[in-house]
Chains A and B, each alone.
Chain A
């Protein structure tokens, strides 16, 4: 009978012989191994989000939003929460029942603004820095920055209309042709 123990001694750290290499050599070997491992390791992938470049370009918007898209996007913008499926379906059907779709959308916006849950910037916020407000409004509604001429015109318009509120600015953007397209 072959003795298993004799032929293949089990590893036992207590039975390991003492290290015969000098500390210097051991250190060198460890450093070499580390360097070798580092050299073979795949470089880490680094994922980053690029800052989107918003340009004053609207030429790529050629598709008319469906009623569902229009309601969904506008509702989310104004109420900071998405509409429920039931709400979206019901309001879309109602829009279909009105022949003039621009008029229908006007009615929807006017109903939204009658809600106390609409999240709008205050008039004082708009008036304190109209330029920034215009930039933000263009980004929110058009997903782009205003051109220099656009920004100048809208800023001047708000400045010269003291009773013009952020709600009316939002109404104009929501009703504008560019907002209907993507």
Chain B
């Protein structure tokens, strides 16, 4: 028979235990987010496709790439500070001789911090994109399979409690396994913590409207709600594990909002009123226009957009420099548009980073201008850069130089985690590169 003292002791211990034991939140995390969120909005541009260091941040244009050519200059004057080439202009519009006007009055470099020499982990596109999103060299990462380790999207949603429509990934195609990058196959993370994804060159292509541009609208109360009620009953008779369904966990309201967005995009695509960059003659610029529309509509805490057109450098150097010039134009448009969204203006951090570089030596392919082409596999392909701008980023700062790198590709993901308050959780999870750190820790 227990005494009154025992009863009080046990009751007290139970109460203390209840207070101390972790609470499993709907988001799947054990504790409420404990990290300090220092930014409201973060946009990550995977400036991808394999950007050769020499032509990009090196500003060497043709001088280091093409035998017998000496033209130098900055092709990316929205992002980087420096004068454009003064001769041999082949990257503009028309026949290439008309450079695209800069969008930003001051380069992002002058507004933020440039990590001039950053180390890439991987020289293959898919592995390298994974190294950005996973914050690690993805050992064992195969092609055409989902990331093997958690991505930044999943860290944010699981540990930060971010809603599905608060985390977006916009890709420039459905090729090269890009649609697989919005969540990993990791059993503790996976689809339920994935990011929403569009590939606007497909999703919002005018031809696609033949197939999905005529979404029937149902009355939310008299039709849609009872339909969902019946569906819920049917689902209750079919048991599934969490990971079996390819469902991101968008709520009914979020789904309806996404459908409204898609209708709006289809309509405005037809009307030609999408907020595309002034020059939008490429997949990258087209993609960026819709990424801007996602920002305007959802104002997500985190958006990652993937560019890829520069990969043409495998066989066409002239088109490669045009693509690089347009990717810079797209980033300028992105930053300019962000400053016109009231909630995001002055309150958004932008991070741009290529996934890998390109070789020092050319391959055997010569384009129509007689320019040699470049693949990506050697040590030079590990030379990349990173550019940051935002309210907490030091302005006009350049770190690192050839032979003295500062930062590595995994740091981009850690910087996002740092800004959005999940850095400690990411570190504790144990799947990132051991030396990965936020770029802010390198400044």
Contacts and interface: CB of A to CB of B under 8 A. Distances in A.
Nearest to A95: B212
29 contacts: A58-B238, A64-B244, A90-B208, A93-B202, A94-B203, A96-B174, A97-B198, A97-B202, A99-B179, A99-B197, A100-B247, A100-B248, A100-B255, A101-B246, A102-B248, A103-B248, A103-B255, A103-B258, A106-B259, A113-B216, A153-B233, A157-B226, A157-B229, A172-B231, A173-B234, A176-B235, A177-B245, A178-B234, A180-B245
Closest A-B pairs by Cβ, 10 of them: A99-B197, A101-B246, A97-B202, A97-B199, A172-B230, A176-B234, A178-B238, A114-B216, A97-B203, A172-B231
Contacts of A32: none
Contacts of B237: 58, 147, 150, 178
B238 A107 contact: no
Given A87-B211, A94-B212, 14 more contacts: A58-B237, A64-B246, A90-B208, A96-B174, A96-B179, A97-B179, A97-B197, A99-B196, A100-B164, A100-B250, A168-B223, A168-B227, A176-B235, A177-B235
Given A97-B174, A99-B169, A111-B214, A169 B230 contact: yes
A178 B246 CA distance: 13
Interface of A: 58, 61, 64, 87, 90-91, 93-94, 96-103, 106-108, 110-111, 113-115, 147, 150, 153-154, 157, 161, 163-164, 168-169, 171-173, 175-178, 180-181
Given A94-B208, A100-B247, A107 B262 contact: yes
A99 B202 contact: no
Nearest to A112: B216
Contacts of A153: 233
B194 interface: yes
Contact of B174 (A93, A111, A157, A173): A93
Interface in B193-237: 194-199, 202-203, 207-208, 210-218, 222-223, 226-231, 233-235, 237
A102 B197 contact: no
A111 B196 contact: no
Interface of B: 164, 169, 174, 179, 182, 194-199, 202-203, 207-208, 210-218, 222-223, 226-231, 233-235, 237-238, 240, 244-248, 250, 255, 258-259, 262
Contacts of B202: 93-94, 96-97
B238 A94 contact: no
Given A94-B211, A177-B234, A177-B245, A171 B203 contact: no
Contacts of A87: 211
Contact of B238 (A99, A113, A177): A177
Nearest to B230: A172
A106 B255 contact: yes
Given A97-B199, A108-B212, A113-B216, A163 B233 contact: no
Contacts of A154: 230, 233
A21 to B, nearest CB: 78
A174 to B, nearest CB: 9
B247 A101 contact: yes
Contacts of A115: 214
Given A106-B255, A178-B238, A157 B230 contact: yes
Contacts of B240: 177
B247 A98 contact: no
Nearest to B197: A99
A50 to B, nearest CB: 27
A126 B238 CA distance: 25
A103 B233 contact: no
Contacts of B238: 58, 61, 176-178, 181
